[in-house]
Structure 1
Amino acid sequence: MYMRKKVKKSLNIGTGSIIGIYYPIGSTICRLLAQDSDKGKVMCSVASTTGGAYNINSMRNDDFDIGIAQSDWEYIVYHGGEVLKLKPMHDLRLLFSMHKAYLTLVARKGSNINTINGIKGRRINIGAQELEPEA
């Protein structure tokens, strides 16, 4: 999870799909912050999004204060990316790491896919499309 340097009295958190893990994590953070909101501390809202790249773009545009994203995107966006032509975003800060993102591949029996290299040139389904961060 990543956060911009400047924090306001209200926070907007970009998460992910409501059926994924990012949304409940963002919602829990808002609930914890809401426990102190009656003391004038922080009001919080959570938004379901398409994921990390959208959240980073929204933080770049000051639409979100906090965005949940994978650590590889944080590194690329913080330093800038030659391949994606991204400007560095040096005010990006890591709040905490949540979990490792493992990859599981499942192939139909008889597909002759036995290693990661076996998918080369094959038609595969990798789930919902996530857009890349904007420059």
Structure 2
Amino acid sequence: MMRNMAVRISTVILALGVSLTAYADNYTIGTGSQSGTYYPLGGTLAKLWGEQIPDFTMRAEVTAGSVENSIKVAQNKQLAGIAMGSVVLKAYQGTKPFPAKMDVAVVTALYPNVVHFMVPADSDIQSVTDLKGKRVSLGAPGSGTRNSAIAILDALGIKEDDLKAQSLNYTATTNALANGQIDAGVIVGSLGVGAVTELALTRDIRMLSFTPEQLAAISKAMPSHQSIEIPADSYRNVPAFTTAAVWNVLLVNKNADEDLVYSMTKTMFENIDTVRQNIKATSYTTLDNMQKLSGVPLHPGAMKYLKEHQ
């Protein structure tokens, strides 16, 4: 009987060990709205890593975006996340909206996010300062869009209370703008982001441009934001506009396993052409651009790969 019990206990321990190993090797990557770029990019990376890294599986998780992803990565609730560099810098420094310094590190800079302040083509809103008193979606709670939009407005002396502000995600923002439920909407995403592309196919819209003085004020308040010129017809019938852009990054916990992060970095760059076939914005994802976000260090596993190729 004792021998049988010992066998049963050993079997339970073995089974528990297998289940724990299986659990440990199943990961998530935090993304954002399904109508943005983060979600398909996260899905592409998760599939690639699952196919190329032994005993590794990952799924893309829909989240509120950059702030949530930074927190979950720092708390080891996600192995990886995609986030705006400006948000990750705040997470690393422990400044608002974060209550304390977050244990985050960068794997690589990915591509620049373009700040889209959208209005109907026939709107009387001509500049960002005209948004006062208007119904404006600033982005979902916990998203990089909302964090960036509020910071940009603040840099220009416009408070959230000056607006009839709403907190809608990408899809809800474009739907509300299309239906006349809001006067303007903000989306911070890659050039050609799906939500804006789809809106422009069904509605006549335009983007608000920033003046050189406004862009200087934005860059002074947030060095991670730089000016960018967007040519006409980057979206259907949308005139050229001048706006701000901020790099997105792939992040992990700073204490994540070095060998695993090295493998993730190596696999991504060795298969970057496959990634680019699915996500055009990753044409900017290069070794030369890995450290585009200053102020937050690369994870040691990523740095090891970069040094091998310098």
TM-score by length of 2: 0.35
**Residues 1:36 and 2:52 aligned together:** yes
Question: Is there any run of 5+ residues in structure 1 with no aligned partner, and where?
Answer: 1-7
Shift of 1:29: 0.8
Deviations 1:29-70 (A, max 9, x none): 111112224x43x22222111211121222233211111111
Which fold has the larger relative contact order, with Cα–Cα distance below 8 Å and residues 6 or more apart in sequence? 1
Task: Tell me the CA shift for residue 118 of structure 1.
Answer: 1.4
Corresponding position of 1:20 = 36
Give, as a single letter, the amino acid of the residue that structure 2 aligns with 1:120. K
C-alpha distance in 2, partners of 1:28/1:132? 21
| Pair member with larger Rg | 2
Greater fraction helix: 2
Give 1:17's aligned amino acid: S
Q: How does 1:1-135 map to 2 (within 5 A)?
A: 9-37=25-53, 39-40=54-55, 42-81=56-95, 83-84=96-97, 86-89=99-102, 91-108=103-120, 109-111=122-124, 113-126=125-138, 128-131=139-142
What code does the residue aligned with 1:75 have?
L
Pairwise CA distance, 1:130: 2.4
Calculate percent identity across the aligned residue pairs. 22
Deviation at 1:25, TM superposition (A): 0.7
How far apart are residue 110 of structure 1 and its match? Answer: 5.0
Change (3 A) 1:56 1:49: same
The one-letter amino acid paired with 1:130 is P
Letter in 2 for 1:131: G
Q: Distance in 2 between matches of 1:93 and 1:107?
A: 36
Gaps of 5+ in 2: 1-23, 145-310
**Partner Cα distance (1:44, 1:116) in 2:** 41
Tell me if structure 1 keeps the 8 A contact 2:90–2:98: no
Q: Displacement, 1:86? A: 2.1
| Structural RMSD (CA) | 2.3
Given the superposition, is the C-alpha separation of residues 79 and 114 from structure 1 closer, same or farther in structure 2, using an over 3 Å criterion?
same
* Higher strand content, 1 or 2: 2
